[in-house]
Structure 1
Protein backbone atom coordinates (compact mmCIF):
# COMPACT_ATOMS: atom_id res chain seq x y z
CA UNK A 1 0.00 0.00 0.00
CA UNK A 2 2.80 2.45 0.86
CA UNK A 3 4.51 1.75 -2.49
CA UNK A 4 1.29 2.62 -4.28
CA UNK A 5 0.93 5.86 -2.28
CA UNK A 6 4.54 6.87 -2.98
CA UNK A 7 4.11 6.09 -6.69
CA UNK A 8 0.93 8.15 -6.80
CA UNK A 9 2.62 11.10 -5.08
CA UNK A 10 5.60 10.88 -7.43
CA UNK A 11 3.28 10.86 -10.46
CA UNK A 12 1.41 13.91 -9.16
CA UNK A 13 4.66 15.83 -8.60
CA UNK A 14 5.82 14.98 -12.13
CA UNK A 15 2.45 16.06 -13.57
CA UNK A 16 2.61 19.36 -11.70
CA UNK A 17 6.17 20.01 -12.82
CA UNK A 18 5.50 19.26 -16.48
CA UNK A 19 2.31 21.31 -16.40
CA UNK A 20 4.33 24.33 -15.28
CA UNK A 21 7.21 23.58 -17.59
CA UNK A 22 8.69 26.39 -19.65
CA UNK A 23 8.84 26.16 -23.41
CA UNK A 24 12.18 26.48 -25.09
CA UNK A 25 12.45 28.38 -28.33
CA UNK A 26 14.83 26.05 -30.15
CA UNK A 27 15.43 28.46 -32.99
CA UNK A 28 16.99 31.15 -30.78
CA UNK A 29 17.51 29.36 -27.46
CA UNK A 30 15.19 31.76 -25.65
CA UNK A 31 13.10 30.37 -22.82
CA UNK A 32 9.66 31.82 -22.24
CA UNK A 33 7.08 30.85 -19.70
CA UNK A 34 3.62 31.48 -21.19
CA UNK A 35 2.01 31.50 -17.74
CA UNK A 36 4.08 34.58 -16.78
CA UNK A 37 3.84 36.38 -20.13
CA UNK A 38 2.14 39.76 -20.39
CA UNK A 39 -0.97 39.24 -22.53
CA UNK A 40 -1.63 41.85 -25.21
CA UNK A 41 -5.03 42.33 -26.87
CA UNK A 42 -5.33 40.82 -30.34
CA UNK A 43 -6.07 43.32 -33.09
CA UNK A 44 -5.88 43.35 -36.86
CA UNK A 45 -3.30 46.12 -36.74
CA UNK A 46 -0.98 44.17 -34.41
CA UNK A 47 -1.26 41.03 -36.54
CA UNK A 48 -0.81 42.97 -39.79
CA UNK A 49 2.10 45.02 -38.48
CA UNK A 50 4.46 42.04 -38.69
CA UNK A 51 5.38 39.02 -40.73
CA UNK A 52 5.44 36.12 -38.23
CA UNK A 53 8.10 33.40 -38.32
CA UNK A 54 7.37 30.02 -36.77
CA UNK A 55 10.08 29.41 -34.15
CA UNK A 56 8.70 26.52 -32.10
CA UNK A 57 6.31 23.59 -32.51
CA UNK A 58 5.79 21.46 -29.40
CA UNK A 59 3.22 19.12 -27.93
CA UNK A 60 1.07 20.31 -25.01
CA UNK A 61 3.80 19.66 -22.41
CA UNK A 62 6.58 21.39 -24.36
CA UNK A 63 8.26 18.43 -26.07
CA UNK A 64 9.42 19.03 -29.65
CA UNK A 65 7.22 17.31 -32.21
CA UNK A 66 8.08 15.49 -35.41
CA UNK A 67 7.49 18.72 -37.28
CA UNK A 68 11.20 19.58 -37.37
CA UNK A 69 10.80 20.22 -41.07
CA UNK A 70 9.30 23.60 -40.15
CA UNK A 71 12.76 24.86 -39.25
CA UNK A 72 14.62 25.04 -42.54
CA UNK A 73 16.93 28.01 -41.91
CA UNK A 74 16.87 28.92 -45.58
CA UNK A 75 13.07 28.84 -45.88
CA UNK A 76 11.32 29.16 -42.50
CA UNK A 77 7.54 29.20 -42.34
CA UNK A 78 6.40 32.82 -42.38
CA UNK A 79 2.80 33.94 -41.87
CA UNK A 80 1.44 37.34 -42.95
CA UNK A 81 -1.95 38.73 -41.96
CA UNK A 82 -2.95 41.13 -44.72
CA UNK A 83 -5.49 43.92 -44.84
CA UNK A 84 -8.81 42.71 -46.12
CA UNK A 85 -8.74 39.65 -43.85
CA UNK A 86 -6.34 37.39 -45.78
CA UNK A 87 -3.59 35.28 -44.21
CA UNK A 88 -0.72 34.06 -46.41
CA UNK A 89 1.84 31.35 -45.63
CA UNK A 90 5.26 32.01 -47.11
CA UNK A 91 8.15 29.70 -48.04
CA UNK A 92 5.86 26.81 -48.91
CA UNK A 93 6.10 25.01 -52.24
CA UNK A 94 2.54 25.92 -53.16
CA UNK A 95 0.92 29.28 -52.53
CA UNK A 96 -1.20 28.82 -49.37
CA UNK A 97 -3.69 31.38 -48.13
CA UNK A 98 -7.04 31.69 -46.36
CA UNK A 99 -9.48 34.27 -45.09
CA UNK A 100 -9.20 35.13 -41.43
CA UNK A 101 -11.43 36.95 -38.99
CA UNK A 102 -10.80 38.32 -35.52
CA UNK A 103 -13.63 37.24 -33.17
CA UNK A 104 -13.96 37.15 -29.39
CA UNK A 105 -10.24 37.70 -28.81
CA UNK A 106 -9.26 34.87 -31.17
CA UNK A 107 -8.36 34.51 -34.83
CA UNK A 108 -10.51 32.20 -36.90
CA UNK A 109 -8.74 30.99 -40.04
CA UNK A 110 -10.94 29.74 -42.86
CA UNK A 111 -10.28 26.89 -45.25
CA UNK A 112 -6.84 27.06 -46.80
CA UNK A 113 -6.59 27.35 -50.57
CA UNK A 114 -3.46 26.28 -52.41
CA UNK A 115 -1.99 26.02 -55.86
CA UNK A 116 -1.37 22.45 -56.99
CA UNK A 117 2.28 22.35 -58.03
CA UNK A 118 4.12 19.08 -57.59
CA UNK A 119 7.17 19.37 -55.38
CA UNK A 120 9.62 16.99 -53.80
CA UNK A 121 8.01 14.86 -51.05
CA UNK A 122 9.54 16.80 -48.14
CA UNK A 123 8.12 20.07 -49.46
CA UNK A 124 4.71 18.48 -50.04
CA UNK A 125 4.75 17.27 -46.42
CA UNK A 126 5.67 20.80 -45.31
CA UNK A 127 2.73 22.20 -47.28
CA UNK A 128 0.30 19.72 -45.76
CA UNK A 129 1.44 20.43 -42.16
CA UNK A 130 1.86 24.22 -42.38
CA UNK A 131 -1.88 25.11 -42.05
CA UNK A 132 -2.06 23.21 -38.74
CA UNK A 133 0.11 25.91 -37.15
CA UNK A 134 -2.79 28.36 -37.48
CA UNK A 135 -5.51 26.16 -35.99
CA UNK A 136 -6.36 26.77 -32.35
CA UNK A 137 -6.53 29.52 -29.75
CA UNK A 138 -4.40 32.58 -30.58
CA UNK A 139 -2.65 34.57 -27.86
CA UNK A 140 -0.47 37.62 -28.29
CA UNK A 141 2.03 38.24 -25.50
CA UNK A 142 4.93 40.54 -24.84
CA UNK A 143 8.20 38.64 -25.16
CA UNK A 144 11.78 39.62 -24.47
CA UNK A 145 12.65 43.27 -25.03
CA UNK A 146 8.94 44.11 -25.51
CA UNK A 147 8.78 42.17 -28.74
CA UNK A 148 5.38 40.53 -29.42
CA UNK A 149 5.04 36.75 -29.49
CA UNK A 150 2.12 35.03 -31.20
CA UNK A 151 1.17 31.63 -29.76
CA UNK A 152 -1.40 29.30 -31.31
CA UNK A 153 -2.50 26.43 -29.07
CA UNK A 154 -4.58 23.50 -30.31
CA UNK A 155 -5.50 20.17 -28.75
CA UNK A 156 -2.32 18.63 -30.20
CA UNK A 157 0.36 21.30 -30.37
CA UNK A 158 1.65 24.70 -29.36
CA UNK A 159 3.03 26.89 -32.17
CA UNK A 160 5.08 29.97 -31.36
CA UNK A 161 5.69 32.77 -33.89
CA UNK A 162 7.98 35.77 -33.54
CA UNK A 163 7.99 38.89 -35.71
CA UNK A 164 10.41 39.01 -38.62
CA UNK A 165 12.37 42.20 -39.09
Structure 2
Protein backbone atom coordinates (compact mmCIF):
# COMPACT_ATOMS: atom_id res chain seq x y z
CA UNK A 1 0.00 0.00 0.00
CA UNK A 2 1.09 3.57 -0.68
CA UNK A 3 2.50 5.43 2.31
CA UNK A 4 0.34 8.60 2.79
CA UNK A 5 3.21 10.25 4.67
CA UNK A 6 5.30 10.21 1.48
CA UNK A 7 2.58 10.99 -1.04
CA UNK A 8 2.56 13.66 -3.76
CA UNK A 9 0.40 15.80 -1.48
CA UNK A 10 2.92 15.77 1.39
CA UNK A 11 6.27 15.38 -0.36
CA UNK A 12 5.98 17.58 -3.47
CA UNK A 13 5.72 21.30 -4.14
CA UNK A 14 2.62 20.70 -6.26
CA UNK A 15 1.02 24.19 -6.19
CA UNK A 16 1.39 26.05 -9.48
CA UNK A 17 0.14 26.22 -13.08
CA UNK A 18 0.31 23.27 -15.45
CA UNK A 19 -0.29 23.52 -19.19
CA UNK A 20 -0.33 21.44 -22.35
CA UNK A 21 -2.52 20.23 -25.20
CA UNK A 22 -4.69 17.22 -24.39
CA UNK A 23 -6.24 14.85 -26.98
CA UNK A 24 -9.59 15.66 -28.56
CA UNK A 25 -11.81 13.22 -30.49
CA UNK A 26 -13.05 15.74 -33.08
CA UNK A 27 -10.52 18.59 -33.03
CA UNK A 28 -6.71 19.00 -33.13
CA UNK A 29 -6.53 19.15 -29.33
CA UNK A 30 -7.65 20.89 -26.17
CA UNK A 31 -5.28 23.63 -25.02
CA UNK A 32 -5.39 23.24 -21.25
CA UNK A 33 -4.12 25.24 -18.29
CA UNK A 34 -4.77 24.13 -14.70
CA UNK A 35 -3.73 26.23 -11.72
CA UNK A 36 -3.64 24.45 -8.34
CA UNK A 37 -3.57 26.64 -5.24
CA UNK A 38 -2.40 25.73 -1.73
CA UNK A 39 -5.91 26.26 -0.34
CA UNK A 40 -7.06 23.43 -2.66
CA UNK A 41 -8.87 25.72 -5.09
CA UNK A 42 -8.29 25.48 -8.83
CA UNK A 43 -8.63 27.46 -12.03
CA UNK A 44 -9.10 25.53 -15.28
CA UNK A 45 -8.86 26.99 -18.80
CA UNK A 46 -9.93 24.84 -21.76
CA UNK A 47 -9.79 25.89 -25.41
CA UNK A 48 -10.82 23.46 -28.15
CA UNK A 49 -8.49 24.28 -31.03
CA UNK A 50 -10.19 25.37 -34.28
CA UNK A 51 -13.51 25.59 -32.39
CA UNK A 52 -13.14 28.04 -29.51
CA UNK A 53 -12.16 31.65 -30.10
CA UNK A 54 -11.13 32.03 -26.46
CA UNK A 55 -10.62 29.64 -23.54
CA UNK A 56 -13.49 28.72 -21.24
CA UNK A 57 -12.67 29.32 -17.57
CA UNK A 58 -13.94 27.38 -14.54
CA UNK A 59 -12.98 27.88 -10.91
CA UNK A 60 -13.71 25.62 -7.96
CA UNK A 61 -12.13 23.27 -5.45
CA UNK A 62 -10.39 19.90 -5.63
CA UNK A 63 -9.99 16.99 -3.25
CA UNK A 64 -7.12 14.56 -2.77
CA UNK A 65 -7.44 10.81 -3.15
CA UNK A 66 -6.93 8.81 0.04
CA UNK A 67 -3.37 7.88 -0.98
CA UNK A 68 -2.49 11.56 -1.64
CA UNK A 69 -1.28 10.97 -5.21
CA UNK A 70 -4.27 12.14 -7.29
CA UNK A 71 -6.85 14.92 -7.22
CA UNK A 72 -10.46 15.25 -8.35
CA UNK A 73 -11.92 18.59 -9.43
CA UNK A 74 -15.41 19.45 -8.17
CA UNK A 75 -18.47 19.87 -10.39
CA UNK A 76 -17.08 23.17 -11.71
CA UNK A 77 -14.29 21.12 -13.26
CA UNK A 78 -16.68 18.31 -14.32
CA UNK A 79 -15.11 15.88 -11.87
CA UNK A 80 -11.89 15.56 -13.88
CA UNK A 81 -9.15 13.51 -12.22
CA UNK A 82 -5.41 14.13 -12.38
CA UNK A 83 -2.46 12.10 -11.17
CA UNK A 84 0.17 14.33 -9.51
CA UNK A 85 3.94 13.97 -9.85
CA UNK A 86 6.98 16.25 -9.67
CA UNK A 87 6.44 19.02 -12.24
CA UNK A 88 3.59 17.30 -14.10
CA UNK A 89 0.01 16.12 -14.01
CA UNK A 90 -1.65 13.33 -15.95
CA UNK A 91 -5.34 13.55 -16.86
CA UNK A 92 -6.96 10.24 -16.00
CA UNK A 93 -9.58 8.99 -18.43
CA UNK A 94 -12.40 7.00 -16.90
CA UNK A 95 -11.10 3.54 -16.06
CA UNK A 96 -7.40 4.54 -16.23
CA UNK A 97 -5.34 3.20 -13.33
CA UNK A 98 -4.02 6.09 -11.15
CA UNK A 99 -0.40 4.96 -11.35
CA UNK A 100 2.66 5.97 -13.34
CA UNK A 101 3.71 5.73 -16.13
CA UNK A 102 1.00 7.58 -18.09
CA UNK A 103 0.64 8.42 -21.79
CA UNK A 104 2.67 11.58 -22.51
CA UNK A 105 -0.26 12.91 -24.57
CA UNK A 106 -2.38 13.03 -21.40
CA UNK A 107 0.12 15.08 -19.39
CA UNK A 108 0.38 18.73 -18.41
CA UNK A 109 3.75 20.31 -17.54
CA UNK A 110 4.28 22.78 -14.73
CA UNK A 111 5.18 26.27 -15.92
CA UNK A 112 7.76 28.46 -14.20
CA UNK A 113 6.95 32.18 -13.80
CA UNK A 114 9.41 34.45 -15.60
CA UNK A 115 12.13 36.30 -13.74
CA UNK A 116 11.55 40.04 -13.25
CA UNK A 117 14.20 40.97 -15.82
CA UNK A 118 12.40 38.97 -18.51
CA UNK A 119 8.99 40.55 -17.97
CA UNK A 120 9.21 43.69 -20.17
CA UNK A 121 10.42 41.72 -23.19
CA UNK A 122 7.64 39.14 -22.87
CA UNK A 123 4.98 41.77 -22.24
CA UNK A 124 6.01 43.56 -25.43
CA UNK A 125 6.31 40.44 -27.59
CA UNK A 126 2.66 39.45 -27.07
CA UNK A 127 -0.79 40.91 -27.60
CA UNK A 128 -2.84 40.20 -24.48
CA UNK A 129 -6.55 39.36 -24.62
CA UNK A 130 -8.60 39.78 -21.43
CA UNK A 131 -10.32 36.48 -20.58
CA UNK A 132 -11.82 37.29 -17.17
CA UNK A 133 -11.63 39.72 -14.28
CA UNK A 134 -12.51 39.16 -10.63
CA UNK A 135 -12.80 41.37 -7.55
CA UNK A 136 -11.21 40.91 -4.11
CA UNK A 137 -13.78 38.22 -3.23
CA UNK A 138 -13.14 36.25 -6.41
CA UNK A 139 -16.44 37.31 -7.99
CA UNK A 140 -16.59 38.38 -11.67
CA UNK A 141 -16.30 42.13 -12.21
CA UNK A 142 -19.47 43.29 -13.96
CA UNK A 143 -18.89 44.19 -17.58
CA UNK A 144 -15.40 42.71 -17.93
CA UNK A 145 -15.05 41.58 -20.57
CA UNK A 146 -18.64 40.66 -21.52
CA UNK A 147 -20.07 44.19 -21.91
CA UNK A 148 -17.62 45.10 -24.64
CA UNK A 149 -18.73 44.43 -28.23
CA UNK A 150 -15.10 43.69 -29.04
CA UNK A 151 -12.30 41.77 -27.36
CA UNK A 152 -10.28 43.82 -24.88
CA UNK A 153 -6.56 43.85 -25.70
CA UNK A 154 -3.58 45.16 -23.74
CA UNK A 155 -0.52 46.08 -25.84
CA UNK A 156 2.99 46.97 -24.64
CA UNK A 157 5.75 48.48 -26.80
CA UNK A 158 8.98 50.34 -26.00
CA UNK A 159 7.81 51.47 -22.57
CA UNK A 160 4.39 52.47 -23.88
CA UNK A 161 1.03 50.86 -23.25
CA UNK A 162 -2.45 50.98 -24.80
CA UNK A 163 -5.84 49.33 -24.37
CA UNK A 164 -8.21 48.46 -27.20
CA UNK A 165 -11.80 47.20 -26.97
CA UNK A 166 -13.22 49.47 -24.28
CA UNK A 167 -15.26 52.47 -25.37
CA UNK A 168 -12.19 54.66 -25.70
CA UNK A 169 -8.66 53.69 -26.62
CA UNK A 170 -6.44 54.39 -23.58
CA UNK A 171 -2.68 54.88 -23.73
CA UNK A 172 0.27 55.90 -21.59
CA UNK A 173 3.64 54.73 -20.29
CA UNK A 174 4.40 51.69 -18.16
CA UNK A 175 7.24 50.38 -15.99
CA UNK A 176 8.15 47.13 -14.20
CA UNK A 177 10.00 47.58 -10.91
CA UNK A 178 12.52 45.28 -9.23
CA UNK A 179 9.73 43.48 -7.34
CA UNK A 180 7.83 42.58 -10.50
CA UNK A 181 5.18 45.24 -9.97
CA UNK A 182 3.58 46.89 -13.01
CA UNK A 183 2.84 50.61 -12.82
CA UNK A 184 1.34 53.03 -15.33
CA UNK A 185 1.90 56.72 -15.92
CA UNK A 186 -1.12 58.99 -16.24
CA UNK A 187 -3.04 57.75 -19.26
CA UNK A 188 -4.68 59.68 -22.07
CA UNK A 189 -7.71 58.46 -23.99
CA UNK A 190 -9.86 59.21 -26.98
CA UNK A 191 -13.20 60.95 -26.36
CA UNK A 192 -15.78 58.75 -28.08
CA UNK A 193 -19.36 58.20 -26.89
CA UNK A 194 -20.68 54.62 -26.64
CA UNK A 195 -23.51 52.70 -25.07
CA UNK A 196 -23.60 53.38 -21.28
CA UNK A 197 -22.57 49.80 -20.38
CA UNK A 198 -19.53 50.02 -22.67
CA UNK A 199 -18.57 53.52 -21.49
CA UNK A 200 -18.62 52.23 -17.92
CA UNK A 201 -15.77 49.89 -18.89
CA UNK A 202 -13.45 52.87 -19.22
CA UNK A 203 -14.01 53.86 -15.58
CA UNK A 204 -13.73 50.27 -14.34
CA UNK A 205 -10.47 49.63 -16.18
CA UNK A 206 -8.99 52.99 -15.19
CA UNK A 207 -9.73 52.25 -11.53
CA UNK A 208 -8.09 48.80 -11.75
CA UNK A 209 -4.96 50.31 -13.29
CA UNK A 210 -4.69 53.21 -10.85
CA UNK A 211 -2.36 51.32 -8.48
CA UNK A 212 0.60 48.99 -8.95
CA UNK A 213 -0.24 45.46 -10.12
CA UNK A 214 1.65 42.26 -9.36
CA UNK A 215 2.67 40.42 -12.54
CA UNK A 216 2.60 36.66 -13.00
CA UNK A 217 3.57 35.83 -16.58
CA UNK A 218 3.83 32.23 -17.78
CA UNK A 219 5.35 31.88 -21.26
CA UNK A 220 5.01 28.92 -23.57
CA UNK A 221 2.71 27.60 -26.30
CA UNK A 222 -0.17 29.08 -24.28
CA UNK A 223 1.23 32.22 -22.64
CA UNK A 224 -0.85 33.70 -19.83
CA UNK A 225 -0.67 36.95 -17.87
CA UNK A 226 -2.22 37.57 -14.44
CA UNK A 227 -2.30 41.09 -12.98
CA UNK A 228 -3.29 41.33 -9.31
CA UNK A 229 -4.01 44.51 -7.35
CA UNK A 230 -3.23 45.20 -3.69
CA UNK A 231 -6.88 44.36 -2.91
CA UNK A 232 -6.58 41.00 -4.77
CA UNK A 233 -8.64 42.07 -7.78
CA UNK A 234 -7.37 40.05 -10.75
CA UNK A 235 -7.16 40.52 -14.51
CA UNK A 236 -6.34 37.37 -16.50
CA UNK A 237 -5.13 37.37 -20.11
CA UNK A 238 -4.03 34.94 -22.77
CA UNK A 239 -1.20 36.07 -25.04
CA UNK A 240 -0.52 35.75 -28.75
CA UNK A 241 2.96 36.54 -30.04
CA UNK A 242 2.99 39.72 -32.12
CA UNK A 243 3.98 39.62 -35.80
CA UNK A 244 6.96 41.86 -34.93
CA UNK A 245 8.21 39.21 -32.48
CA UNK A 246 7.74 36.45 -35.06
CA UNK A 247 8.91 38.14 -38.26
CA UNK A 248 10.81 41.31 -37.37
CA UNK A 249 9.98 44.87 -38.33
CA UNK A 250 7.35 45.38 -41.05
CA UNK A 251 7.19 47.50 -44.18
CA UNK A 252 4.42 50.11 -44.20
CA UNK A 253 2.19 49.99 -47.29
CA UNK A 254 -1.04 51.70 -48.34
CA UNK A 255 -3.81 50.08 -50.34
CA UNK A 256 -7.25 51.18 -51.48
CA UNK A 257 -9.93 48.49 -51.14
CA UNK A 258 -12.80 48.70 -53.62
CA UNK A 259 -16.39 48.49 -52.37
CA UNK A 260 -17.04 45.22 -54.24
CA UNK A 261 -15.20 41.92 -54.40
CA UNK A 262 -14.06 40.16 -57.58
CA UNK A 263 -13.71 36.55 -58.63
CA UNK A 264 -10.20 35.19 -58.29
CA UNK A 265 -8.04 32.17 -57.43
CA UNK A 266 -6.99 31.71 -53.82
CA UNK A 267 -3.58 30.46 -52.63
CA UNK A 268 -4.63 26.84 -53.30
CA UNK A 269 -5.78 27.66 -56.84
CA UNK A 270 -9.49 27.29 -56.07
CA UNK A 271 -12.16 29.74 -57.23
CA UNK A 272 -12.89 32.41 -54.64
CA UNK A 273 -14.03 35.98 -54.11
CA UNK A 274 -11.19 38.37 -53.36
CA UNK A 275 -10.80 41.96 -52.39
CA UNK A 276 -10.03 44.29 -55.27
CA UNK A 277 -7.21 46.65 -54.32
CA UNK A 278 -4.77 49.14 -55.75
CA UNK A 279 -1.61 50.65 -54.35
CA UNK A 280 -1.68 54.18 -52.94
CA UNK A 281 1.14 56.49 -51.89
CA UNK A 282 1.25 59.25 -49.26
CA UNK A 283 3.97 61.69 -48.22
CA UNK A 284 5.17 62.33 -44.65
CA UNK A 285 2.39 64.92 -44.18
CA UNK A 286 -0.20 62.29 -45.08
CA UNK A 287 -1.06 63.81 -48.46
CA UNK A 288 -1.69 61.56 -51.46
CA UNK A 289 1.08 61.64 -54.06
CA UNK A 290 1.38 60.07 -57.49
CA UNK A 291 -1.27 58.15 -59.43
CA UNK A 292 -2.90 55.09 -57.82
CA UNK A 293 -1.76 51.70 -59.09
CA UNK A 294 -3.82 49.33 -61.19
CA UNK A 295 -6.76 47.45 -59.64
CA UNK A 296 -5.75 43.87 -58.81
CA UNK A 297 -7.39 40.93 -56.97
CA UNK A 298 -6.02 40.46 -53.45
CA UNK A 299 -6.37 36.92 -52.07
CA UNK A 300 -4.48 37.35 -48.78
CA UNK A 301 -6.31 37.93 -45.48
CA UNK A 302 -5.63 41.17 -43.62
CA UNK A 303 -5.47 40.67 -39.85
CA UNK A 304 -7.74 43.11 -38.04
CA UNK A 305 -9.71 44.13 -41.15
CA UNK A 306 -13.27 43.09 -41.97
CA UNK A 307 -14.55 44.13 -45.38
CA UNK A 308 -18.05 45.55 -45.57
CA UNK A 309 -19.70 45.30 -49.01
CA UNK A 310 -20.45 48.70 -50.47
CA UNK A 311 -17.72 50.50 -48.49
CA UNK A 312 -14.47 51.71 -50.04
CA UNK A 313 -11.49 52.01 -47.68
CA UNK A 314 -7.91 53.21 -47.83
CA UNK A 315 -5.80 51.18 -45.42
CA UNK A 316 -2.39 51.61 -43.88
CA UNK A 317 -0.95 48.12 -43.45
CA UNK A 318 2.03 46.47 -41.84
CA UNK A 319 3.53 43.94 -44.26
CA UNK A 320 5.69 41.24 -42.68
CA UNK A 321 8.09 39.07 -44.67
CA UNK A 322 7.20 35.47 -43.83
CA UNK A 323 9.24 33.96 -46.67
CA UNK A 324 12.46 34.90 -44.84
CA UNK A 325 11.24 32.73 -41.94
CA UNK A 326 10.22 29.70 -43.98
CA UNK A 327 6.61 30.71 -44.55
CA UNK A 328 4.77 29.20 -47.50
CA UNK A 329 2.78 32.42 -48.04
CA UNK A 330 5.37 35.20 -48.54
CA UNK A 331 3.69 38.04 -46.67
CA UNK A 332 1.49 38.65 -43.64
CA UNK A 333 -0.65 41.79 -43.75
CA UNK A 334 -1.88 43.45 -40.54
CA UNK A 335 -4.20 46.47 -40.42
CA UNK A 336 -2.49 49.51 -38.91
CA UNK A 337 -5.13 52.16 -39.62
CA UNK A 338 -8.17 52.94 -41.79
CA UNK A 339 -7.32 56.37 -43.18
CA UNK A 340 -10.28 56.84 -45.57
CA UNK A 341 -13.73 55.28 -45.65
CA UNK A 342 -16.63 55.94 -48.02
CA UNK A 343 -20.00 54.29 -48.65
CA UNK A 344 -20.38 53.71 -52.40
CA UNK A 345 -23.81 53.65 -54.01
CA UNK A 346 -24.44 50.56 -56.18
Whether 1:76 aligns to 2:151 is: yes
Give the secondary-structure state (helix, strand or coil) at the position aligned to 1:39: coil
Structure 2: segments with no counterpart, 5+ residues? 1-36, 47-53, 61-109, 242-346
Deviations 1:39-71 (A, max 9, x none): 11242211111110000112345432323x413
For 2:56, the equivalent position in structure 1 comes to 29
Contact residue 88 and residue 98 of structure 1 kept, 8 A: yes
User: What secondary structure does 2:41 align onto?
Assistant: coil
- Matching residue within 119, 124, 128 for 1:48: 124
TM normalised by structure 1 equals: 0.71
Larger radius of gyration: 2
Matched pairs, number: 143
**Structure 1 gaps, min length 5:** 1-16
* Aligned residue in 2 for 1:126: 201
Instruction: Give TM-score scaled by structure 2 length.
Output: 0.36
Deviation per residue, 1:76-105 (Å, 9 max, x gap): 11000012x111001222220121012112
Q: What SS is found at the alignment partner of 1:43? A: helix
Structure 1 vs Structure 2 CA RMSD: 3.0
Query: Structure 2 vs 1, CA of residues 138 and 32 (structure 1 numbering), >3 Å: closer, same or farther?
Result: farther
**Would the aligned equivalents of 1:22 and 1:62 in 2 still touch at CA under 8 Å?**
no
Q: Provide the rounded CA distance (Å) in 1 between the counterparts of 2:233 and 2:225.
A: 14
After superposing the two structures, state which structure 1 stretch, 47-56 or 152-161, moved more: 152-161
Q: 1:31 to 1:117 in 2, by over 3 A?
A: closer
Distance 1:51 1:133 in 2: 19
- Give, in whole Å, the separation in 2 of the partners of 1:88 and 1:148: 19
**Cα distance, 1:141 vs. partner?**
2.0
Residue 59 (structure 1) aligned to one of 118, 127, 135: 135
- Report 1 or 2 for greater relative contact order, CA contacts < 8 Å, sequence distance ≥ 6: 1
